Amino acid sequence: MRALYKPAAAPGFQLAERPEPAAGPAEVKIRVLRTGICGTDLHIERWDAWAAGAVNAPLVAGHEFCGEVVEVGAAVRDIGVGDLVSGEGHIVCGTCRNCRAGRRHLCIRTSSIGVNRDGAFAEFVVLPESNVWVHHPRIDPDLGAVFDPFGNAVHTALSFPLVGEDVLITGAGPIGLMAAQVARHVGARFVVITDVSSYRLELARTMGVDLALDVSADSIADAQRRLGMVEGFDVALEMSGHPAALPDAIDNLNSGGRIAMLGLPSTPIEIDWGRVVTHMLTIKGVYGREMFETWYAMSAMLRSGLDVSAVVTHRLPATEWADAFAIARSGQCGKVVLDWTEV
């Protein structure tokens, strides 16, 4: 099969011939139709310090995908050949305390496809049945390919009740954009998103936020005044990882405000802990998706009218992977998808 392969612990990928994987007794073999390019994939392609410390090379990268089941193992019960599926990329042990308590997203022995084992940048991928999500048959494969980051957005956005609340989202990348639409769908009052990218801020405006704010020119306090707010935001979703974003959010929260933090900061952040205490703020770290409650919520919201398809702005054949990675790295895009039917 053709696959985007990293043969050694060094920068770059190769579109190479690799052995086609076989499904074990409890596994499912999937013909990949589309894959999404994630920030993690950019780190792996560049082979930066994070990748060198976290990734097991050689390997096939990629963890955001949609495909068609072509083979199931003898012990597979609920998935059939022909199903349109995506996959939860975190494979858990099943026996640690959190797994046994039904908190699989907190497994202490998580193995990630495309990072610790071969992933989905290929014509075929194999996953345990327990990690496969069967889609409604009419879903667009482009959308199915971004269920992983969509799940990040849903997990973060639904960390706290949003009905009637004023929501601040720092970071208008694809996950922030989808989180904004989730917040609107579930009943938030004002949804404000911040960034410094004019492309992504304009995309946010087309996706229905109340205000898309360039924080290099305007402050979040200005946004509050423009919207007629008087007590600060109720909920903040920190998606950017920028060191200024969390302190800025804290300064603009109402007393009792809540922060869900998905963005990974690359440098230490100085926080006014006195304000956190005296304003009784809550800061919650978020990683991945809840298995599988987030997946049920995603599918249910799509079936009830939520439309996040505008977040996919580019689709290229897998043979043009280098161009696709360059677009994703430029930031002048939403989600970039590779088409594996064209290899």
By annotation, the residues acting in catalysis are 40, 43
CB neighbours of 176 closer than 8 A, spacing ≥ 6? 153, 169, 170, 193, 195, 204, 237, 239, 240
Tokens of 293: 């409650």
- Residue 274 tokens read as 């006195």
SS3 291: coil
Quick one: CA dihedral 285, 286, 287, 291, positive or negative? positive
Three-class DSSP labels, 248-282: HHHHCEEEEEEEEECCCCCCCCCCCHHHHHHCCCE
Question: Do the Cβ atoms of 40 and 63 come closer than 8 Å?
Answer: yes
The answer to whether 212 touches 202, Cβ cutoff 8 Å, is yes
**In sequence order, what are the residues at sequence separation of 6 or more whose Cβ sits closer than 8 angstroms to the Cβ of residue 300?**
none
Give CA separation, 103 vs 8, 89, 292, in Å: 34, 15, 10
CA distance 138 to 159: 29
Q: Where are the alpha helices (DSSP H) in the chain?
A: 39-46, 49-54, 97-100, 141-144, 147-157, 174-185, 198-206, 220-227, 245-251, 273-278, 293-303, 321-330
The structure tokens listed for 336 are 């970039």
